[in-house]
Structure 1
Amino acid sequence: MAKAVGRDVDYQVLLPPDWERGEPLPLVLHLHGAMSSAASLELARPFYEELFQRGEFPRAIVACPSTPTSGGFYLDWPGGDAWQTLIADEFPEHLAQKFGPFTATALYGASMGGYGALKTAFDDPARFAAVAAISPAVFPGETPDGVPQANLPSVLGELHQAMANGTGDAGAYAANSVYGIARRNADRIRSSGLPILVDCGAVDEFLLHEGAAYLHGVLTELGIAHEFRLVAGAGHLGPTADVRTRDALRFVGVALTAR
């Protein structure tokens, strides 16, 4: 039973070949996108295994918890489920009891998972070895009223409303915004030296490239070092998705190997 959300949470774990209990290894928190689940880690397994075999990813524990879309979104809901707390604290502690000790922790996420990974990393940057976000669910605006309607289709509109507690609360929105967290913690992020990757297709069907470019601008304004990749001709998924996933995992692998 996860205390943060008052229920059991399904999750999947990838263990390295010949893993032995008590072996000190890094942990990668793999955060899935909207309308998905921990089962997405099985789809990513070939990427991790291929990179490991090539020597481009270290021996590591990789874990993905199932996080709901509506009512989840990697948010801590006022008086309700605390999904970010689960991801940042309770889930890694649970994993450490079963698979630890961990030498470092990194975050990888795509789409909704990219949003969750960035906000979790920026909230406590010294705790993490790296964060990589592919097509993160971020918007070209920093207030409840500052995002164009064209950028709020379907589930993204639900996330946008949820960030403001469904009431348009600007303070809540800033607290749940990757930009708001980055502005609040800019000094800590800079001093941590956190490796940050933001990758997005330049023709994302959900216009997430506009939010990614906005994020790039904010991080640049704040003097926060990061790598920004706007991939020409690429959409939210499509033919380049596998290449971009491998590259993002390599980015995480390099950071973990340097630890």
Structure 2
Amino acid sequence: MRIVKDHFAATSGAQEVEYQVLLPADPREGERLPLVLHLHGAMSSSRSLELARPHYEELFREGEFPRAVIACPSTPTEGGFYLDWPDGGGAWETLISAEFPGHLAKTYGPFTGTALIGASMGGFGGLNVAFGDPERFAAVAAISPAVFPGETPQDVPEKNLPSVLGELHRAMGHGTGDAAAYTRNSVYGRARANAERIRRAALPILVDCGAADEFLLHEGAAYLHDVLKELAIPHEFRLVEGAGHVGPAAETRTKEAIRFIGAALRRRA
């Protein structure tokens, strides 16, 4: 597989967005491929795709991942978070869900389908985008997603809001604790609002988290698991004993999440 590095002038984010694309090494004229949006975590960049490249390549060689266009844009953490901000503050969810795929389609499309995979902040973004428009996506896999054990600004314990997670928590409520905005920007709020659509779309969903996550994200992942069960939304939930937010187990779990996406795309082929 080969990596292409590029950038484009995004109107949604109102700035130049750098991105990387992982492609089959042997392009075939007229071939239509699925698109995989690989969303990086906080304080990261499109280099996340370079780090994951060996997993994609290994699974492709083993026949467990199809020929695909895999793309990762660099997006900001604070002031980004894969959210659309009010008052012209940037529309990063719109960029991920619409503008960036549209830009890629001009060169690599049209696509046969689109899947989402992300870790931490990227897991939050992937779930939010997929639950907001479930019919559009072939699958979503979230590794250690940045979700909280509560559904309103007041419900989330302070211990679950260290550092950048506290910034995300405030950003979901537009920095003012706006409960309606918080719900609109919440994975739970979208799951509840669109439960019937998600079920009808038969969206393949993976939620994976280490049971020893240093940022207590396993508590949010377990809460999400319970909400999805309550809503009768089929999904796969993996809570990996002894695993933290990073480390060797996280690498293995990333590979398994890519395998999950690959299986979903192969079923659609």
The TM-score by the shorter chain falls in which range?
A: over 0.9
- Cα deviations by residue, 1:194-245 (Å, 9 ceiling, x for unpaired): 0000000001000000000000000000000000000000000122112111
Among 178, 182, 186, the alignment partner of 2:191 is 182
Identify unmatched segments of 5+ residues in structure 2. 1-8
Counterpart CA distance in 2 for 1:202 and 1:22 is 45
2:246 aligns with 237
Contact preservation (8 Å) 1:204, 1:235? yes
Counterpart CA distance in 1 for 2:72 and 2:166 is 25
Answer with 106-115 or 237-246: which moved more. Answer: 237-246
**1:126 maps to amino acid:** E
The TM-score with structure 2 as length reference comes to: 0.95
Counterpart CA distance in 1 for 2:50 and 2:258 is 15
Among 117, 120, 126, the alignment partner of 2:126 is 117
Cα RMSD (Å) of the superposition?
0.7
- Cα deviations by residue, 1:71-125 (Å, 9 ceiling, x for unpaired): 0000000122000000000000000001111101000000000000000000000
Q: What's the % identity of the aligned pairs? A: 73
1:151 aligns with 160
1:49 aligns with 57
The TM-score with structure 1 as length reference comes to: 0.99
Among 10, 27, 47, the alignment partner of 1:39 is 47
Counterpart CA distance in 2 for 1:151 and 1:111 is 14
Among 15, 27, 32, the alignment partner of 1:7 is 15
- Cα deviations by residue, 1:30-57 (Å, 9 ceiling, x for unpaired): 0000000011111111010000000010
Contact preservation (8 Å) 1:196, 1:225? yes
Q: Does 1:191 align with 2:192?
A: no
Contact preservation (8 Å) 1:22, 1:100? no
Counterpart CA distance in 1 for 2:173 and 2:193 is 17
Contact preservation (8 Å) 1:216, 1:228? yes
Counterpart CA distance in 2 for 1:17 and 1:50 is 14
Counterpart CA distance in 1 for 2:50 and 2:154 is 38
Task: Tell me the number of residue pairs that the alignment of Structure 1 and Structure 2 aligns.
Answer: 259
Counterpart CA distance in 2 for 1:21 and 1:101 is 13
Secondary structure of the residue that 1:8 maps to in structure 2?
strand
**1:242 maps to amino acid:** E
Contact preservation (8 Å) 1:11, 1:38? yes
Counterpart CA distance in 2 for 1:144 and 1:14 is 38
**1:87 maps to amino acid:** I
Counterpart CA distance in 1 for 2:28 and 2:64 is 21
2:170 aligns with 161
Counterpart CA distance in 1 for 2:183 and 2:207 is 20
Task: Please state how far the C-alpha of 1:21 moved relative to its aligned partner.
Answer: 5.1
2:267 aligns with 258
Secondary structure of the residue that 1:51 maps to in structure 2?
helix
**1:35 maps to amino acid:** M
Task: Please state how far the C-alpha of 1:246 moved relative to its aligned partner.
Answer: 1.0
Matches within 5 A, 1:46-85: 46-79=54-87, 80-85=89-94
Counterpart CA distance in 1 for 2:71 and 2:36 is 6
